Amino acid sequence: MKIDVLTLFPDMFKGPFDESIMKIAKKKGLIEINLCDIRQWTFDKHRSADDKPFGGGPGMVMKVEPVDMGIKEIKNKANLAQCVEPKIILLTPQGEKFNQSVAVKISRLKHIVLICGHYEGVDERIRSFVDFEISIGDYVLTCGEIPAMVICDSIVRLLPGVLGDEESIKEESFENGLLEYPQYTRPSEYKGMKIPEILLCGDPKKIKKWRSEESLRRTKERRPDLL
């Protein structure tokens, strides 16, 4: 999978993209991530990627030209390499809310471009260049770089070969529409707290049944909206 990130702050990604699952996926050659500084497509001496909003108002608005040129360059490179044309995704509070099913859908794509919004927002005309818009939740962040990190981490771990145990993905929260069942490890007793006896019975069918029941119970208690 190839991921291009259009950002004003590429250095923000150095930590998250160089550790843990992202590092493993890159080392295995399962993903290619390019951090594209939007300012490389600006031409004034200040490398301005924003400007004051028409009609007045607070803040600054991300300019349309650099983003458009960045998208065109990425698409042209894909065409020259005879690769699948990338899907363009704008990260914005106004987009579709990101969840596990959206993560799965995106993970099946060959090439995506994530546009990180900033300032007071983006020039509305940028929306005409994108395939879909995504929001990671009903709250406001300073920039789109953090949502980009969240989305990348969520989709990369779904790619075949990234995780050591492929079965672990199937039993995680939200994969079947429910929260995950309680998990325990050694020691079997800690400060008087014992693990459920069923987990020591050695009967896979009974354990599976218990886990299914606990998953449903926990979802009813904590996230009834999922049912």
Nearest Cα to 111, choosing from 83, 149, 148, 131? 83
Q: Is 136 annotated as a binding residue?
A: yes
For 32-48, the three-class secondary structure string (H helix, E strand, C coil) is: EEEEEEHHHHCCCCCCC
Euclidean distance between CA atoms 210 and 159, whole angstroms? 29
Q: Is 190 annotated as a binding residue?
A: no
Q: Is 139 annotated as a binding residue?
A: yes
Q: Is 140 annotated as a binding residue?
A: yes
The two beta strands, 189-190 and 193-194, are: antiparallel
Distance of CA 98 to the CA centre of its chain: 8
65, 47 in Cβ contact below 8 A? no
Q: Is 88 annotated as a binding residue?
A: no
Q: Is 141 annotated as a binding residue?
A: yes
Euclidean distance between CA atoms 103 and 98, whole angstroms? 7
Q: Is 51 annotated as a binding residue?
A: no
Nearest Cα to 38, choosing from 79, 3, 71? 71
Angle separating helix axes 100-107 and 145-156, nearest 10 degrees: 70
- Would you list which residues are annotated within the binding site for S-adenosyl-L-methionine? 117, 136-141
Residues making up the annotated binding site are 117, 136-141
